[in-house]
Amino acid sequence: MTSKSFARAANVTASTKRPPAISSGKRGTPATNIASLSCTPLDPIDPELRQRLALDTPHELLQTFVDTALDINEGDILVVGSAEYPIRAVGDWATTASMPAYKWLVVEELKK
Protein backbone atom coordinates (compact mmCIF):
# COMPACT_ATOMS: atom_id res chain seq x y z
CA MET A 1 0.00 0.00 0.00
CA THR A 2 1.44 3.34 -1.03
CA SER A 3 0.55 6.48 0.92
CA LYS A 4 -0.43 9.69 -0.85
CA SER A 5 2.64 11.48 0.53
CA PHE A 6 4.96 8.75 -0.78
CA ALA A 7 3.24 8.87 -4.17
CA ARG A 8 4.00 12.62 -4.33
CA ALA A 9 7.63 12.12 -3.24
CA ALA A 10 8.21 9.20 -5.64
CA ASN A 11 8.21 11.47 -8.68
CA VAL A 12 11.08 9.86 -10.59
CA THR A 13 10.28 7.30 -13.27
CA ALA A 14 12.74 4.42 -13.49
CA SER A 15 13.05 0.81 -14.61
CA THR A 16 15.24 -2.12 -13.66
CA LYS A 17 17.38 -4.61 -15.51
CA ARG A 18 18.46 -8.00 -14.19
CA PRO A 19 21.54 -9.89 -15.35
CA PRO A 20 20.80 -13.46 -16.46
CA ALA A 21 22.31 -16.42 -14.64
CA ILE A 22 25.92 -17.32 -15.46
CA SER A 23 26.12 -19.96 -18.18
CA SER A 24 29.37 -21.57 -19.35
CA GLY A 25 31.30 -19.12 -17.18
CA LYS A 26 29.80 -16.08 -18.88
CA ARG A 27 27.01 -13.70 -17.95
CA GLY A 28 24.72 -12.35 -20.66
CA THR A 29 23.46 -8.83 -21.16
CA PRO A 30 21.04 -7.60 -18.48
CA ALA A 31 17.40 -7.60 -19.61
CA THR A 32 14.50 -5.45 -18.48
CA ASN A 33 12.96 -6.80 -15.27
CA ILE A 34 10.56 -3.97 -14.33
CA ALA A 35 9.61 -1.76 -17.27
CA SER A 36 8.38 1.21 -15.21
CA LEU A 37 8.36 2.13 -11.53
CA SER A 38 8.25 5.27 -9.41
CA CYS A 39 11.00 6.11 -6.94
CA THR A 40 12.09 9.05 -4.85
CA PRO A 41 14.87 11.26 -6.26
CA LEU A 42 18.37 9.79 -5.93
CA ASP A 43 20.12 11.36 -2.94
CA PRO A 44 23.67 10.82 -1.62
CA ILE A 45 23.92 8.50 1.37
CA ASP A 46 25.51 9.61 4.62
CA PRO A 47 29.29 8.86 4.80
CA GLU A 48 28.77 7.07 8.13
CA LEU A 49 26.12 4.85 6.56
CA ARG A 50 28.47 4.08 3.68
CA GLN A 51 31.09 2.90 6.15
CA ARG A 52 28.55 0.83 8.11
CA LEU A 53 27.39 -0.91 4.92
CA ALA A 54 31.04 -1.80 4.18
CA LEU A 55 30.61 -0.94 0.50
CA ASP A 56 34.14 -0.22 -0.60
CA THR A 57 33.82 1.71 -3.80
CA PRO A 58 35.49 4.86 -5.07
CA HIS A 59 32.21 5.95 -6.66
CA GLU A 60 29.38 7.92 -5.14
CA LEU A 61 26.60 5.98 -3.45
CA LEU A 62 23.04 7.21 -3.75
CA GLN A 63 19.78 6.09 -2.16
CA THR A 64 16.15 5.97 -3.20
CA PHE A 65 12.90 4.44 -1.97
CA VAL A 66 10.40 2.36 -3.93
CA ASP A 67 7.23 0.40 -3.24
CA THR A 68 7.96 -2.69 -1.15
CA ALA A 69 6.03 -5.03 -3.47
CA LEU A 70 8.54 -4.61 -6.32
CA ASP A 71 10.85 -7.49 -7.28
CA ILE A 72 14.22 -5.75 -6.91
CA ASN A 73 17.43 -7.49 -5.76
CA GLU A 74 21.04 -6.60 -5.12
CA GLY A 75 22.87 -6.92 -8.43
CA ASP A 76 19.97 -5.51 -10.47
CA ILE A 77 20.46 -2.23 -12.33
CA LEU A 78 18.25 0.81 -11.72
CA VAL A 79 17.76 2.83 -14.92
CA VAL A 80 16.78 6.50 -14.61
CA GLY A 81 16.64 8.31 -17.94
CA SER A 82 19.78 7.19 -19.78
CA ALA A 83 21.79 6.58 -16.59
CA GLU A 84 22.29 3.10 -15.16
CA TYR A 85 23.00 2.54 -11.47
CA PRO A 86 24.05 -0.89 -10.14
CA ILE A 87 22.02 -1.72 -7.03
CA ARG A 88 24.45 -2.47 -4.19
CA ALA A 89 22.03 -2.93 -1.28
CA VAL A 90 18.30 -3.49 -0.82
CA GLY A 91 16.60 -3.11 2.52
CA ASP A 92 13.10 -3.06 3.95
CA TRP A 93 11.92 0.19 5.49
CA ALA A 94 9.59 -1.07 8.20
CA THR A 95 5.94 -0.15 8.55
CA THR A 96 5.05 2.37 11.24
CA ALA A 97 1.69 3.58 12.51
CA SER A 98 1.76 6.49 10.07
CA MET A 99 3.68 4.98 7.13
CA PRO A 100 3.45 1.80 5.07
CA ALA A 101 6.60 -0.21 4.35
CA TYR A 102 8.99 0.76 1.56
CA LYS A 103 12.02 -0.78 -0.08
CA TRP A 104 15.28 1.16 0.34
CA LEU A 105 17.85 0.94 -2.48
CA VAL A 106 21.51 1.92 -2.35
CA VAL A 107 22.88 2.40 -5.86
CA GLU A 108 26.30 3.21 -7.21
CA GLU A 109 26.82 6.18 -9.51
CA LEU A 110 29.51 5.08 -11.94
CA LYS A 111 31.91 7.88 -12.82
CA LYS A 112 33.39 7.94 -16.30
Residues in the chain, total: 112
Question: How confident is residue 8, by pLDDT bands cut at 50, 70 and 90?
Answer: confident
| Ordered alpha helix ranges (H), the chain | 4-9, 47-53
The predicted-structure confidence for 16-62, as pLDDT tens digits, reads as follows 999 988 888 888 899 999 999 999 999 988 766 656 666 555 678 89
Delineate the domains of the chain, giving CATH numbers in brackets.
Answer: 4-21+28-109 (2.40.10)
Which pTM does this prediction carry? Answer: 0.82
What gap in Å lies between CA 36 and CA 33, rounded to an integer? 9
